Structure 1
Amino acid sequence: MTTPYPRAFVVGHPIAHSRSPLIHGHWLAEHGLPGRYERIDVHPDAFPNFVRSLRAEGWVGGNVTIPHKEAAFRLSQVLTPRAERIGAVNTLWFEDGRLHGDNTDAPGFLAHLDASLGAGWPEATGLAGGRATLVLGAGGAARAILVGLLERGLDRLIVANRSAERAEGLTALDPARITAIPWDSVPARLPATGLLVNTTALGMAGQDPLTLDLAPLPGEAAVADIVYVPLETPLLAAARARGLAAVDGLGMLLHQAVPGFFRWFGRTPEVTPSLRARIVADLGGHG
């Protein structure tokens, strides 16, 4: 099956909530490129056959979201070193006749930190001087973010999760640089924390808030939350109230999309204020 223009997708189950078509549609229009980017709902049982038929169906690649990232990892013929380390794939494309897989959540998170805090944030937050990064949660997003922070050269990473066993599992990424702590030990670690990252669903619309007193954090610390509905979570509101730098979850979503767009459509797009404003408006203006 051939088409006169490149066709890419985002696949998940469910998928109706995905903002990826808006992001890539914005860039296609901005660059005046022919192409399509579509949502596809695929049940986990049907996902392997979906992936195997991509070339025959005329797809150039696409994004993979919950619950298919680990399956995409297993089905990719060529993996980037980052994807191998994370154990999950969110971006697929064809190159030299083979299906390649990458995980762009890690560089997407770091690019958003750079854009929000400035490239010197490890120094500004005290991370370069011995303070720790404290990551809350131990799911796939936490794993990707830890890999990104390791790639950036940070060497004091702490992970806390309600399930201590899952947190311990993440230390295998780099036992010399990652430490797991019990959830109830988080407050005691805040005075020596330069960057606090929430990767849990706490604070998301419909979920319980993340109740954490941020008073012990140093004044130079930054707080990041990967939740973007709402954009201003209770955690970020508390950080701003304390005068701390606050990094919302929308930027990670926008920046992780850049590498895939380049693979499928041949241009490197930019995350601009107009793109952000468009997505915020679609979220109901919760910016």
Structure 2
Amino acid sequence: MYNTDKFLLAGVMGWPVSHSRSPIMHNHWIMENKLTGLYLPIAVKPSGLSSALSMLKPLGFAGCNITIPHKQTALEIVDASDEIARTIGAISCITVQKDGSLLGTNNDWYGFIENLKQETPKWRADAGPVLVIGSGGASRAICYGLIREGAKEIRIVNRTYSKACDLAKVFGKTVKPIPWNKRNEALKDVALVANTTSQGMTGTSPLDICLKRLPLSAIVTDTIYTPLNTPFLKSAKLRGNHIVNGLGMLFHQGVPAWKQWFNIEPVVSEKLRKKIKLDICKP
């Protein structure tokens, strides 16, 4: 157990970071576990990431989460990273070690997989081809998680085809890069489709994809949770597909972060879900 007499500090670094509900979730857990501390949103421009990370130890932080657009850059800055982060090529969580060094890992894959399992208990990674839209840090983490769970074929579509090819080089023959102009055709016979881009997030344009070829049996997921149901998810639900939004991914990736920072396993409760849903849906 972490020293409960100490004022606990953690946070999330991103640019922008105002959309993140991580502070609500982590501060809820701080109160629920009767701890004294604070989890802060930290807006950091890309040019200032190295300086910001260097201040974690002097300011007394136990660690921090890393979000868009810093996940891949952070990997190059931390003092050490585990095999998961190195394989994915991106960091979502940093822990300040006792000697002040920064250790990076990636919990996004775990959050994505646990969210799918909770919302779709009968889901199997080997049920059929998977289409992943995007090739950034979240996409890399999801590919890692899917392969770990036994996926046999993952199709990657990205506006920049070379970036999709880069993922195939990292993860091998399981991952098949597909040109952006073939994205609609790539939906044929898939069992799962996951949007990992920011398209559809509040303030952005919707994801440009036609679901006509998507099987009605396919599960449709989005890593976005603001709004809870993106235009992409709404379209999928309207035609009869089972949908899973990104809110559960947020919750579940937070659990291993707490284990790493405080040696405490927080509970993803219905009370927490309601609290964050109300905040997202408020006018």
Is the shorter-chain TM-score for this pair beyond 0.5, marking a shared fold? yes
- Comparing 172-181 with 32-41, greater Cα deviation is found at 32-41
Worse-matched range after superposition: 164-173 or 67-76: 67-76
2: CA distance, partners of 1:14 / 1:176: 35
What are the equivalent positions in structure 2 for 1:157-172 lying under 5 Å apart?
Answer: 157-172=154-169
In structure 2, relative to structure 1, the CA distance for the partners of 1:96 and 1:150 (3 Å cut) is farther
Q: Kindly provide the CA deviation profile for residues 37-76 of structure 1, in whole angstroms up to 9, marking residues without a partner as x.
A: 1222333333323323322221111112233323321222
Letter in 1 for 2:45: H
SS in 2 for 1:8: strand
- Structure 1 pair 149/28, CA: closer, same or farther in 2 (3 Å)? same
CA contact 1:147–1:173 (8 Å) conserved in 2 = no
- Asked if 1:105 corresponds to 2:108, the answer is yes
Q: Quick check: 1:42 aligned with 2:44?
A: yes
Whole-angstrom distance in 2 between the partners of 1:12 and 1:201: 14
CA positional deviation for 1:109? 0.7
Structure 1 residue matching 2:191: 3-state secondary structure: strand
Give the ranges of 4+ consecutive aligned residues of structure 1 lying more than 6 Å apart after TM superposition: none
Structure 2: which 5+ residue stretches go unaligned?
Answer: none
AA matched with 1:245: H
Q: Is the 8 A contact 1:215 1:242 kept in 2?
A: no
User: In the superposition, relative to structure 1, how do residues 26 and 84 fare at CA in structure 2: closer, same or farther (>3 Å)?
Assistant: same
Task: Assess if the C-alpha contact under 8 Å between 2:155 and 2:186 holds in 1.
Answer: no
Q: Residues 243 and 89 from structure 1, CA distance in 2 versus in 1: closer, same or farther, beyond 3 angstroms? A: same
Deviation at 1:215, TM superposition (A): 3.7
In structure 2, relative to structure 1, the CA distance for the partners of 1:282 and 1:237 (3 Å cut) is same
Distance (Å, rounded) in 2 between the aligned partners of 1:270 and 1:248: 19
Give SS of 1:89's match: coil
Is this contact kept in 2: 1:6–1:264, CA < 8 A? Answer: no
Match of residue 145, structure 2, among 145, 148, 160: 148
Match of 1:128? Answer: 126
Q: Distance in 2 between matches of 1:219 and 1:47?
A: 43
Query: Contact between 1:225 and 1:248, CA under 8 Å: does it hold in 2?
Result: yes
Q: Secondary structure at the match of 2:130?
A: strand
Q: SS in structure 1 opposite 2:252?
A: helix
Contact between 1:35 and 1:265, CA under 8 Å: does it hold in 2?
Answer: no
- Aligned twin of 1:189: 186
Q: Percent identity?
A: 37
Counterpart amino acid of 1:107? Y
Of 15, 37, 53, 1:51 maps to 53
Cα separation, 1, equivalents of 2:154 and 2:131:
6
Correspondence 1:135-284 to 2 at 5 A: 135-284=132-281
Rounded to whole Å, the distance in 2 between the matches of 1:205 and 1:45 is 25
Letter in 2 for 1:20: S
Pair 1:269–1:280, CA change in 2 (3 A)? same
Give the Cα separation in 2 of the matches to 1:33 and 1:92: 21
Question: Would the alpha carbon gap of residues 180 and 73 (structure 1) be closer, same or farther in structure 2, given more than 3 Å must change?
Answer: same
Structure 1 pair 218–43 and aligned structure 2 pair: CA distance change class (3 A) = closer
Aligned to 1:5: 7
Which structure 1 residue ranges, 5 or more long, are not aligned?
A: none
Q: By how many angstroms is 1:170 displaced?
A: 1.1
Aligned length: 279
TM, length-normalised to structure 1: 0.89
State how far apart, in whole Å, the 2-side matches of 1:47 and 1:80 are: 20
How far apart in 2 are the matches of 1:4 and 1:18?
A: 26
Let me know the Cα RMSD of the aligned residues: 2.2
- Partner SS for 1:33: coil
Structure 2 vs 1, CA of residues 18 and 201 (structure 1 numbering), >3 Å: closer, same or farther?
closer
Matching of residue 78 in structure 1 with residue 104 in structure 2:
no
Counterparts in 2 of 1:170 and 1:36: CA distance versus 1, 3 Å: same
Q: Is the CA contact (8 Å cut-off) linking 1:160 and 1:182 kept in structure 2?
A: yes
Distance 1:36 1:174 in 2: 38
- C-alpha distance in 2 between matches for 1:257 and 1:263: 10
In the alignment, which residue of structure 1 is the partner of 2:89?
A: 87
- State the AA in 1 paired with 2:102: L
* Contact 2:178 2:186 survives alignment (8 Å): no
What CA deviation, in whole Å up to 9, does each residue of 1:87-115 have, x standing for no partner?
Answer: 22121113453421111111111111111
